[in-house]
């Protein structure tokens, strides 16, 4: 259920100008962002008054947004608060403050609840400010943009916390304002971001979630290839949504499209631009590892563990699990240093337990490789202990379960 809500909420993050029954035909040609391409053109006075499109505000906030993604939260939030002092009635500064809290939650795989209250408070304030704008002018698509975005983020967090009623209400409101925000299509890459996600995920959901196909009949047809093209465009041109587009592209290429080569290119660019972002850092390490770039994966993983030792923001147990497992595997198979491998596997297990993720692949495979090493070192009792954990935490049809069961059966008479 949680994964289902996640998929739905990916369609209602910032840039939600989507779900049109008659989308403009120029999207298929990766339309040039010009005023002429706007379906419902607002007055020049309205456009010039939009903070979302204000070039001076973008110039001012460029460093702040980069600081946020580089986990320099205090510096970024000082700049966001400065904007709030000058525009206390506009939703933008409150939304950015909320987004900063979101990126404090992200490195923990959204497990920490330490920032939930302040995150929801900022999103609620964003909604209140945007509602006032919308009440004054129902054609204010900038207000609709922030309402859709704030409700979307609230829905995502509520779904992660299994607050299904709140998640459902928030997602419904986000979808309602998403439709109202479509008048901004063509003004900015920020608005195209949501359309790109819709184009990709509406098809992906249809392919992977049969039970949702009747629901999708109420939405326009998507186009996965177009969605990816649009995301790449926003990744290169977007200011507020550029980095988020790269994040989604990286995930899509790595998980849905099974194109780890393209995913690695994006991960590398993110890790280079934001070297202190633990989420990007560990994603880069993992993609290097799965692509077989062991030397670079080793270097990046060691850097991650070093930053954990320094207690840098965002560097905690999840990143430690990634880095420790990668280093363990490299020491086991590249350097044949079994003692170092054992140490790192045990560290990966420790980090997994700290976040209560004993069912994660890194946790199970750490025990699996410890069992193999123990057998190699002729320590049969230890190997049996490790294989017992593998069997307990693996699916019965998996290769890991079968290997553990076979070993335990063959060594049944050996005492633990």
Residues 145-189: tens digit of each pLDDT: 899 889 988 988 998 998 988 988 987 888 788 777 766 656 777
Residues 179-221: tens digit of each pLDDT: 777 666 567 778 777 777 777 877 766 576 665 556 555 556 6
Q: How far apart are CA 333 and CA 166, in angstroms?
A: 48
DSSP state of 51: G
> What is the model's pTM?
0.86
The pLDDT of residue 193 is 77
Residue 403: exposure state from Cβ atoms within 10 A (0-12, 13-18, ≥19): middle
Share of the chain above pLDDT 70, in %: 82
Q: How far apart are CA 97 and CA 24, in angstroms?
A: 33
Q: How far apart are CA 144 and CA 18, in angstroms?
A: 12
Q: Which domains does the chain have, with CATH numbers?
A: 2-256 (no CATH), 279-410 (1.25.40.10)
| Torsion, CA 148, CA 149, CA 150, CA 151, rounded to 10 | 50
Residues 64-86: tens digit of each pLDDT: 999 999 999 999 999 999 999 99
């Amino acid at each position: 259920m949680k994964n289902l809500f996640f998929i739905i909420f990916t369609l209602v993050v910032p840039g939600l100008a989507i779900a049109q029954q008659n989308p403009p035909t120029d999207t298929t040609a990766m339309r040039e962002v010009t005023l002429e391409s706007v379906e419902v053109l607002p007055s020049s006075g309205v456009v010039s008054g939009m903070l979302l499109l204000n070039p001076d505000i973008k110039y001012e906030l460029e460093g702040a947004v980069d600081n946020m993604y580089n986990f320099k939260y205090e510096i970024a939030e000082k700049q966001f608060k400065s904007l709030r002092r000058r525009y206390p009635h506009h939703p933008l500064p409150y939304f950015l403050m909320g987004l900063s809290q979101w990126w404090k939650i992200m490195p923990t795989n959204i497990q920490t609840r330490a920032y939930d209250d302040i995150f929801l408070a900022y999103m609620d304030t964003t909604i209140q400010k945007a509602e006032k704008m919308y009440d004054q002018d129902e054609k204010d698509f900038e207000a609709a943009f922030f309402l859709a975005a704030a409700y979307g983020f609230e829905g995502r967090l509520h779904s992660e916390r299994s607050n299904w009623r709140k998640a459902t209400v928030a997602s419904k409101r986000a979808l309602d304002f998403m439709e109202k925000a479509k008048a901004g299509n063509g003004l900015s890459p920020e608005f195209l971001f949501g359309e790109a996600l819709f184009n990709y995920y509406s098809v992906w959901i249809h392919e992977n979630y049969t039970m949702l196909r009747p629901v999708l009949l109420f939405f326009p047809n998507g186009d996965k290839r177009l969605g990816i093209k649009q995301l790449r465009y926003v990744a290169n041109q977007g200011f507020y949504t550029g980095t988020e587009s790269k994040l989604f592209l990286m995930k899509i290429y790595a998980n849905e499209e099974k194109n780890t080569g393209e995913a690695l290119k994006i991960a590398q660019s993110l890790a280079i631009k934001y070297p202190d972002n633990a989420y990007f850092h560990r994603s880069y390490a993992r993609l290097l590892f799965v692509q077989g770039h062991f030397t670079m994966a080793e270097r990046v993983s060691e850097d991650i563990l070093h930053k954990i030792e320094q207690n840098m923001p965002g560097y905690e147990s999840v990143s430690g699990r990634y880095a420790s497992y990668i280093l363990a595997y490299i020491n086991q198979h590249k350097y044949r240093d079994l003692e170092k491998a054992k140490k790192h596997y045990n560290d990966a297990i420790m980090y997994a337990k700290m976040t209560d993720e004993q069912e994660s692949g890194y946790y199970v495979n750490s025990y699996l490789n410890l069992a193999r090493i123990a057998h190699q070192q002729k320590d049969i009792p230890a190997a049996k202990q490790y294989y017992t954990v593998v069997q307990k935490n693996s699916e019965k049809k998996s290769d890991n379960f079968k290997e553990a069961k076979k070993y335990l059966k063959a060594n049944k008479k050996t005492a633990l």
